[in-house]
Structures are given as structure tokens and as C-alpha cells.
A and B are shown apart, each in its own frame.
Chain A
Amino acid sequence: MKFFIKKTGQALITVFLVSIIVFLAIHSTGDPVGSLLPSQYTEEQKQQLTEQLGLDRPLAVQYLQFAGKALQGNLGESYISKRPVSDMIFEKLPYTFELAIVSIAVAFIITIIFGSIAALSRGKLPDLIISNLSTLFKATPIFFLAILMVQLFGVKWRIFPVSGAGTPLHLVLPAGLLGISISADMVMILRGKMIEALESDYVKFDRLKGIPEYQVVLKHALRNSFSSVLALSSFIFAHLIAGSVVMENVFAWPGIGTLSYNSVISRDFPVVQGIVLLLSIFTIVLSLLVDIFSAILDPRIRKKA
């Protein structure tokens, strides 16, 4: 129990720190007032708008107001569209979740299949091909592959739609590419862990007991190794966000990535603040859940902490 309280406490502190980073980073991005006013403005208009937006008060006060409202789920209003930020985000969220979930599923499937094949054929041809391909994908900028796909499948052969969302066909290219790009790291991690597992005593013991090889691999080696891939959840998630901003940009996907990109370009402070805050909290909660989950599964982790 002490473990869970401690972990939750740490997560709360992290959320607090992230909110300060977000708040400060956005407020160092210069004065939004200038870009919001018409090109010919008077000093008076400027002052009025500054007061209206609360930008004249001390930073600490502004932060407390922001945090207090955020706790009630109020992330402020967009400077541009004048709509509540939370509405704007939640409108786009399903699209990003759709892309993210399918990409993660693709990544997990690729990881399990190719990671296992590489580990089982260690040092042989399939392993060499998979390992080298994974290194190659890690070094290839994902947006170049995206452009290539758009040109080939979208413009030249017209097999898949390459802009917008809505049908499963729209998902094939962006989610497929994002999944492959995320799995490049995971395949190699699973491979390493699985090679360790296959040489461990419990796998040797399973074999001595006469358990069929496929069961040894699937039930014992894979299961034990996969948990170490899951432990990288926050890393995977960060990769996913970075990838989806780029992917949404290339494929004109109407999700959070496009929204955040457009909001930064138009200096819409509250929207960016809301997105970054929400995504970071999401990552923190996710890794807390993974920590708790793995502690429930494995009591040794609870003792160690």
C-alpha cells in the first residue's frame, strides 16, 4: 500500500512541475497581444486587451489562476476562435486516439512477431534482416516515408486516400507508418530481452519438463520479455506524440497534432497550454498505471521501491 501512495504522490508532484513548465514556456513565447490586435491599434486598445486577458497581473498570480481553473476542467478560451479550449481539444481527441490506438496495435503486432523471430533465429539470416531493417527504420526520417507513400499510393496509384480521416482506408497509411516507426525500437528491445529469457534457467527447466517448444516460447519467454517492453510506455507515448504531429501534418489528419501545430503558428496560448498539459498528464497517468500494474503482477518491484 505504501508503494502505491508513494508512486501516486510522485506522479502528482510531476504533474505540478509539468504545469509550471508549460505555463512558463508559453509565457516566455512573447506577447500575444500584438498578434491579436488589428494592424493599426492604439495604446489604449492594447492596454484594454492586456487587462482583459489578465496578462498584466504578476506571473505567480496568473499561474495560480490558471491552475485553479484547470483543476475544475476549465482550460480557458481560445484567443482566436473564442471557444472553450477543452471543447476544441475534446472535439479533436477521438481522431488522435483513433490514430494512436491503431498505431500502437500495429507496433505491438510487429514487435511481437519480428522480435520473437529475431530472438529465435539469433545470428542467423532472419535475425540479421530484422535487426538491420530496424536500424534502418530508426535512421530514416518518418516524414520522408510519409511523403513517399502519399505520392505513390495517393497521387500515382490512387489506392488509399491521403488526406483527412473518417474511413478505415484513411488509417492505413498514417497508422501503418507510425506503427512501423514506433516498433523499430521495440523490436530490438524485445529481441534482447527474449534472448536473455531463452537462456534463463526457467526456460531450460520448462524444456527439461518436456513442454513443447512453441509453448515455452509463447507462454514463458515471450510473456516475461514483453513486460519489459511495456515498462517503456512513457517513452513509447512520447514517440507516438512526436510521430503523430508529423503524420497529422503530412496526411492532413484532423487531430490534436494538427490543432497544436496550427495553434502555435497562430500564437493561441490557451489552446497550446491545454494540449501540452493534457498530453503530459496523460503520459504521467499512463506510466503510473503501468507501474502499479507491474507491481501488482510482480511483488519484487513493490519491495524494491
Chain B
Amino acid sequence: MKRRKFGRHNKIPYFSIAVIILFLIIGVFGQYIAPYDATKADLSSKLLPPAFIKGGSSAYLFGTDEMGRDVLSRMIAGGRVSLFVSLSAIIVGGGVGTILGIVAGYFGRTAEGIISRLTDASLAFPSILLALLLSLSIGPGEKATIISIAFSMWAKYTRTVKSDVILLKNTNYVTQAKIMGAGKLWIIRKHILPNIRKMLVVMVSLEIGMAIITEASLGFLGLSVVPPTPSWGTMIADGKNYFLTGWWVSVFPTIATVLTALSFQKFGEWIRDRRKDANE
């Protein structure tokens, strides 16, 4: 592959990195930053517009929702949910997927056959329906959301890791390690894992954005966190009935979702292209 003409992806994506850092800070320290309690309703100040438009008050920077709750504080609390759910889903889904991919790729034969059929089955399974099922079986909430997002992504890791491992397995240094008498686990730890690590980093950062959007979709359908705990998806859903009178209720969480997802996407692309260039 030739390099892109302007190589614009090789520029460090400062803006994306800043957004990601802000997202992480809000996710971890949000409860100390938020100006109000995200779940406290105050009907005397409902649907107040954001501070920067007419009628807005500087007390509520992003306005209030239909129950008088501070939109900014709810967004901060929702950000914590997004961060927690997407990271956990990736750790579970990516972890399981990677292990199965290594097993399928390295040991081949029966293991590969069984795992390949499982990935086929999982890819054929409409993940949104599984999310609907799981939120019923374990009850709606963060756990159900994490499992359904994880289930929808493990197969992708398995496939990618498997094909990489098959390539690595036949390299000279692995063959020499075998001649040396190295055990399978030793080869996996010393040669396979370090080589797929960078590819995993790229996959993870590209997928976090998708996980955040999936969480928002499930929240929108009422399958993620239980009210009154806010998530960006549930906030967008709440605001849909007041859109003409109070657009800010759903527009600000949408901007937060898009910015975060976009930043992880750009960040992932940057790492990927950097890795590609390094290989050339």
C-alpha cells in the first residue's frame, strides 16, 4: 500500500487526544466536577435554556431538562456510564475473542473448526436482539449492556487474531523456537502475544467509539441503565418529546457522543497508520 498523498493521518490528532483525556477525566472524577446532583429534579426550573441563549441562566450552563435536572451534570454522569460500559465490554469481548483467536490460530484443526463455527454463529446473530434478550434475562442495567456489547464484538477479534496467528506460526523464528524445544505456551507468550499487541491496540481504540454508540442506542431503546441514572442514549431519548421547545436536552448528549466516538476513531486510525508506516 502506498502512503496517502498528504499523509494527513500521520499528524498527531491533538484535538482527539484532548477529547479522549477530557472524557477519561470526566469518567473518573465526574462526581466531583458536576455542579449538581444528576438525578435531583426541581420542577420550578424545568426546561431552562442553556446559559448562552436568551432566557438562560448562568447557573445551568447547558440548561435543564423536563424535570428541572441540570443537563451538564447529567451529561457528566452519563459520560461515566459510557466510559465504564464501553471499556468493560471491550475488555471482556476483546479478551475472550483474543484468547479464542490464539487457540484457533495456533492449535488449528478441531479447535479451529469449532471456534470458526462459533464465530459464524455469533456474526449471524443479530446483536441487537441479543441485547433485547439479555436486558430481560439479567434485567436492564450496565451488566446486561456490557455483556451484549461484548458478545457482539468478540468474534471480530477472534477472526483477526486467528489470521495473524496463522501467519506468525509459520515464521522462521517460531519454527526455530520449536526446534530449540520451546513449549507452546512459551512461544505464545514470547512470540505471538508481543506481535499481535499493536494490532489489538488499534482494534480497541477503533472499537471503543462503536461501543459508545451501541451503548447509546441501547440506552435510547430503554435497555441500558435504569432511570433515573442518566446515560447519553437515555438523555437523547428523553429529549425527543421536547425537541422543539427544549432541543438542548438531546442535542448536547448527542454532541458528546459524536465527539467522543469520533475522537477514538481518529485516534485509532492514527495509531494504525503509524504502525503501517513503521512496517514499510
Chain B positions within 8 Å of A136 at CB level? 258, 262
- The 8 A CB mask of A271-299 against B (1 = contact, 0 = none) is 01001100110011001000000000000
- State how many angstroms separate the Cβ of A39 from the closest Cβ of chain B: 20
Residues of A near B122 (CB, < 8 A) are 21
Instruction: Tell me whether A242 and B132 are in contact (CB under 8 A).
Output: no
User: Interface size for chain A: under 10, 10 to 19, 20 to 34, or 35 or more residues?
Assistant: 35 or more
Of B87-95, B96-104, B213-221, the one with at least 4 CB within 8 A of chain A: B213-221
Report the Cα distance A144→B252, complex, angstroms.
11
Q: Is the CB of B117 within 8 A of A17?
A: yes
**Contacts of B11 on A, CB cut-off 8 Å?**
none
Q: Known: A30-B136, A147-B243, A199-B2. Is A242-B221 also a contact (CB below 8 A)? A: no
Q: Size of chain B's interface in residues, with CB distance under 8 A?
A: 43
- A136-B258, A140-B258, A147-B243 known; A276 vs B126 contact (CB < 8 Å): yes
B257 with A141: CB separation less than 8 A: yes
User: Is B254 an interface residue, CB under 8 A from the partner?
Assistant: yes
Q: In the complex, what's the smallest C-beta–C-beta distance from B250 to chain A, in angstroms?
A: 7
Residues in B with CB closer than 8 Å to A234 are 123-124
B117 and A26 within 8 A (CB): no
Residues of A within 8 A of B203 (CB): none
Chain A residues closer than 8 Å to B4, beta-carbon distance: 122-123
Q: How far is the CB of A91 from chain B (nearest CB, A)?
A: 19
- Cα A161 to Cα B6 in complex, Å, equals 45
**Within residues 219 to 245 of chain B, which ones have a CB less than 8 A from any CB in chain A?**
220-221, 233, 236-237, 240, 243-244
Q: Is the CB of A284 within 8 A of B124?
A: yes
Question: Is the pair B124, A18 in contact by a Cβ cutoff of 8 Å?
Answer: yes
Interface string of A56-96 (1 = CB under 8 A from B): 00000000000000000000000000000000000000000
- Give chain B's interface residues, CB within 8 Å of chain A: 1-2, 4-6, 117-118, 120-130, 132-134, 136-137, 209, 213, 216-217, 220-221, 233, 236-237, 240, 243-244, 250, 254, 257-258, 261-262, 265-266
